[in-house]
Amino acid sequence: MRKKLDELAKRHEEVNILIQDANLIKDQKKYREIMREHAHLEDLMEAYDKYKAVLSGIEEAKAIITQEDDHDMKEMAREELKSLEEKVPEMEDSLKMLLIPPDPLEEKNIIMEIRGGAGGDESSLFAADLFRMYTRYCEMKGWKYEIMNANETEVGGYKEIAFSISGKYVYGSMRYEGGVHRVQRVPETEAQGRIHTSAVTVAVLPEAEETEIEIKNEDLRVDVMRAGGPGGQSVNTTDSAVRLTHIPTGLVVIQQDEKSQIKNKAKAMRVLRARLFELEESKKNAERSAARKSMVGSGERSERIRTYNFPQNRLTDHRINLTLYKLDYIMQGYLDEMIDALCIYAKEEQLKHSGSL
C-alpha cells in the first residue's frame, strides 16, 4: 500500500502542475477529468500525510523508550506509543477506501422513475409514498427535484412518476435504490385488516449531457397527441403530449405533464438521453470482469432489493442483510443510515475484489 501511495503522491504533483495550465480549460472533458482526479488525490494525500505523521510519531516514541534514561520520559513515550499504534489500523482502512478511484458517474444528476407493480391501487399508493420519501430526502440534502412526468390514479397514487434530482453526488448516493421495493401492510381499503403484499419498481438513471449521447434526427420518431389522465384544464384539449420513439433501440418516452408541446419534448429528450446512457453503461458493465461489477446489486428492475413491513415497523435490505426497526422514521425521508451502509458495503466489496492493493 505504501508503494501505491508514494506513486500517487508523484501523480498528485503532476496534476498540481497540470491544473495551472491555462489551455486545459479549452478541453472541457479533459478539464473535468483532471479536476475530478485532483479532488480525489487532494483528499488522499491529506489522509496520507496524517498517516505518515503517526508513523513518524511511533518511531520517535520507540526511540525515546530505548534510548532515554529518564523514567518519566519513558512512561510518557509508552503512553504516546500506545495511543498512536491504536490509530494505525483505522487510518489504514480509511486509506484503502480512499485508494479506490471515484466513479465519474457519482457526480451526475439523475432521473428517477417509480412504477406501481403487482398490487393494484395499493401498489400505486406505495409508489406515492416512495416519491414523498425520496423528495423529503432531497430537501434534507439540499438537492433540487423536478417532476418530469406523472400518471396519477383515482385513489391518489401513481401508476408511474418520473422526476429529476440535481445536486452534489446525487447518483453516488442514490445509485443503489434501483430495483423492486416490496411493501407489506394493511391497505386503507382492506376492511378485514389483512396484510397485503405489493411491489413497486424503481429505476435510477444517471442524467447524460447532450455531448455524451448523440441522438440523430433520423433515428427519432416524434408523435404528438392529446394528454390523458385525471383532471387538468389542458387535458384532452390540446395536442401537447409528446411520444418519442428511438428507432434503433425501440425505446419509447411519453411526456404530457407540461401544457407546452415544446416543454414536453424537451423533458422527453432528457429522459430518452438518460435511458440511452444507461443502456451504454450496462453494455460497458457487462464487458467488465465480475470483480468490477457492482457488488451491491445489478440495479435491474426485476431484482427485489428491499422489503417495507409496516406492521413490524421494519425495513430490510436483502442485498446487505440490513434490518432497521424504524420504518416510520425512514419513510419521512431519513435515509442516510441505509444509503451510507449500502455505499460502504459496495466499496468494501470492491476493495476485496481489487488485486491492486
Q: Which three cell numbers stand for residue 102?
A: 471515484
Q: Which CATH number fits domain 217-284: 3.30.160.20, 3.60.15.10, 3.30.300.340, 1.20.120.330?
A: 3.30.160.20
Question: Residue written as cell 419534448?
Answer: 265
| Predicted local confidence at residue 336, as pLDDT | 95
CA gap 26, 56 in Å, rounded:
43
| Predicted local confidence at residue 229, as pLDDT | 53
Q: Please provide the distance, in angstroms rounded to a whole number, between the alpha carbons at the two ends of the chain.
A: 6
| Predicted local confidence at residue 238, as pLDDT | 62
Q: Which residues contact 60 (CB under 8 A, 6 or more apart)?
A: none
- CA separation, residue 81 to residues 2, 90, 171 (Å): 21, 16, 42
CA gap 315, 298 in Å, rounded:
20
Show the beta-strand stretches assigned E in the chain. Answer: 110-116, 144-152, 158-166, 179-185, 196-206, 220-225, 241-246, 251-255, 304-309, 314-317, 322-324
Query: What percentage of the chain's residues is helix, strand, coil (to nearest 5)?
Result: 50, 20, 30
CA angle 265, 271, 276 (to 5 degrees): 120
| Predicted local confidence at residue 310, as pLDDT | 95
| Predicted confidence pLDDT, tens digits, the chain (357 residues) | 888 888 889 999 998 998 888 888 888 778 888 888 888 899 899 999 999 999 999 999 999 998 888 888 989 999 999 999 999 999 988 888 888 877 878 888 999 999 988 778 889 999 999 999 999 999 999 999 999 889 898 888 999 999 999 998 899 999 999 999 999 998 876 667 788 889 999 999 998 877 678 888 899 999 888 766 544 444 445 678 899 999 999 999 988 878 888 888 889 899 999 999 888 887 776 654 443 444 455 445 567 899 999 999 999 999 999 999 999 999 999 999 999 999 888 888 877 766 544
- The dotted CATH code for 107-208+290-352 is 3.30.70.1660
**What residue segments make up the domains of the chain, in order of their start?**
2-99, 107-208+290-352, 217-284
CATH 1.20.58 fits domain 2-99: yes
CA gap 156, 79 in Å, rounded:
64
Same fold, 107-208+290-352 and 217-284: no
